[in-house]
Each structure stands twice: as structure tokens, then as C-alpha cells.
Amino acid sequence: MQDEPSEYPAVTLSLAKKPGTNAVDVSKNILALLDELKETIIPEDVEVQVTRNYGYNAQEKVNDLLLSLGFAVFTVVVLLAFALGWREALVVALAVPVSFSLALFVNYLFGYTMNRVTLFALILSLGLVVDDPITNVDNIQRHIFMGRRKPFSATLFAVKEVLPPVIMSTLAIIISFVPLFFITGMMGPYMAPMAINVPMTVIFSTLCALTIVPWMTYALLKKHPVSDDSSADDQQKGTPSWIFKTYRTIVAPFLESRFKQYLLLIVIIALMGFSVSLVLFRAVPLKIGFL
């Protein structure tokens, strides 16, 4: 009996997608066409084997990122429901998909496709997207629960009160990500989706915080009963008592003692110095070296 040969004649074909097309759809169409060719053109004694399928790999990565994005949104909503209430969490939960949808629409206008970099940028911007809606929701809730003004007037006053810091935080984030537009070379195409997605989502989040969030918060809280307890601190109304007491317990000692203030400053500077030393002494590996 003769041994089977260890080498076989083979032909390798490499197929690439055109720019702007979906790698997942292209790979599925190729595999479907391959099955048809096996029945008509490819002989039965010819073995066909797929060695690499970037479409399948891309789909797996996208699914993982979508799962991470969904989990991140769910976590944020649960934390808000625990700290502020389910109505306030519902408002912020609505602002997130609206901001992301508008950002993806801008991606479509600029010709960017949905890929791993785009999804990573959305996950990165999630923590930034919820900042402005949370700020407005919390302040509107506080003013409505205080009962000094009617709910409609309280909503407008609350939004106006925090408008300067909301606008400034948005501008600061935009300025921080603008330099990514000017990265050249091989990294340029990878950084471009992040440079456009993070600022866009933050901008649309701010628009939601100034339009949809006040309207929906007013609609959900306008009939909420106002406490007549005049002994309660106005700043505490709308905030769960355990959060207020815990925060006050931690912060009050530093406000009352100048020695503790300087001690806290020294600790912060020491920790920052320790963080920088990790890089200087190569305790943290860097992809791009500067020493």
C-alpha cells in the first residue's frame, strides 16, 4: 500500500473588496457563489478550503463592540436610576441613541463606513455623551422639587443656570480631539473616524441636553408632588439623602480645615508624580517611545 502524498498541487486565490463596500456582505456573497461553482464548474475531486475570511472576523469584532456598547449604555442607565430615579434615567437613556444616530448620519454624509474604529469611538464617547444630559436632568429635577417656581419656569431657569459650563465642556472636548484630524501617514485613516465621531456625538448630546432633555424632564416631573418640608436644605431636595450625606461627610473636612486642604494637594501631586514616573522608568510599556 502506497503512502498518501504529503504535498498536493494547489492554487491560491485572494479576493479583496472595493473601498466603501461591506466586508461582511462581500465575504457572504463570495461563499454563496463558491457553493454554486462546486455544483457546476469545480470538479468533485478538487477540495476548496477557505484559509482566511476577514469578513467573518470583522463581524465577530463588530458584534463584540456592539455588545460592549449595549452593556455600557445599560450600566449607565442603571446607575442613574439608582442615584436619580427611573424617570431621570429614562431621559438620559433617550439622549444616548439620539446622539449616536445623528453622529452616524454625519458619518454617512462624510463617507465613513461602520467599522471597528467607528464603534470604538462611540464607546469612548459614551461617558462624554451622558455628561450634559445628566447635568441638565439633575438641575431641572432639583429646581422642580424645590417648588420655588412652577415646573415650566423651573425647567427654563435650571437649563439657563448650567448653560455656560455645559457649553464650555463641549468646546473643551472638541478642542481636545481636533488634533486627530491632522495625523498623517498610516495612522491618519484610523484616527479620522475617532476625530469626527467623538466631537459629533458630544455636540449632538449638548443639543439634546438643551432641547429634548428639558422637554422630557418637564413632561415626566411636572406633576411630581413638591415637599413642604421647609427644614430640608434646598440644595438637597431631589438628591437621595444617602448620596448627600456621604458626599458631605467626605468633602466637609477639607472645607473646614486648611491643613487638610494642603495635605490633599500634596497627595494629589505625589500621585501624579508617581504616574509620570511609571512612564519615565519604563514600568509601563509604550508603543511609541519618546526617550
Quick check: 144 and 221 in contact, CB under 8 A? yes
Arithmetic mean of pLDDT over the chain: 80
Quick check: 118 and 191 in contact, CB under 8 A? no
Could you tell me what percent of the chain has a pLDDT over 90? Answer: 15
Residue 51 phi/psi, 5-degree rounding, is -90, -35
Condensed to tens digits (0 to 9), the pLDDT of residues 29-76 reads 888 888 887 778 878 777 877 777 777 776 777 777 678 777 877 887
Condensed to tens digits (0 to 9), the pLDDT of residues 133-152 reads 888 988 888 888 888 888 89
Q: Under 8 Å CB-to-CB from 199, ≥6 apart: which residues? A: 173, 174, 177, 178
Nearest to 280 by CA among 267, 291, 268, 269: 291
pLDDT of residue 288: 55
Quick check: 209 and 136 in contact, CB under 8 A? yes
Which residue's C-alpha cell is 456592539? 66
Q: Under 8 Å CB-to-CB from 186, ≥6 apart: which residues? A: none
Which residue's C-alpha cell is 488634533? 179
E strand or H helix that includes residue 158: helix 151-177
Question: How far is it, in rounded angstroms, from Cα 37 to Cα 42?
Answer: 6
Output the furthest CA–CA distance in the chain (Å, rounded).
100
Which domains, ranges and CATH numbers included, belong to the chain? 60-239 (1.20.1640.10)
Integer-rounded Cα Rg, in Å, for the chain is 28
Q: Binning pLDDT at 50, 70 and 90, where does residue 171 land?
A: very high
Q: Binning pLDDT at 50, 70 and 90, where does residue 157 land?
A: very high
Q: Environment class of residue 193 by beta-carbon count within 10 Å: exposed (0-12), middle (13-18) or buried (19+)? A: buried
Comparison of pLDDT for 19 and 135, the residue scoring more: 135
Length, in residues, of the chain: 291
Could you tell me what percent of the chain has a pLDDT over 70? Answer: 87
Average pLDDT of the residues in 243-267: 89
Q: How many CB atoms lie within 10 A of CB 159?
A: 22
Q: Under 8 Å CB-to-CB from 226, ≥6 apart: which residues? A: 144, 145, 146, 147
Question: How far is it, in rounded angstroms, from Cα 195 to Cα 190?
Answer: 9
Buried b (16+ CB within 10 A) or exposed e, 163-186: eeebeebbeebeeebeebeeeeee
Condensed to tens digits (0 to 9), the pLDDT of residues 69-116 reads 778 778 878 887 887 778 888 888 888 888 888 888 887 787 777 777
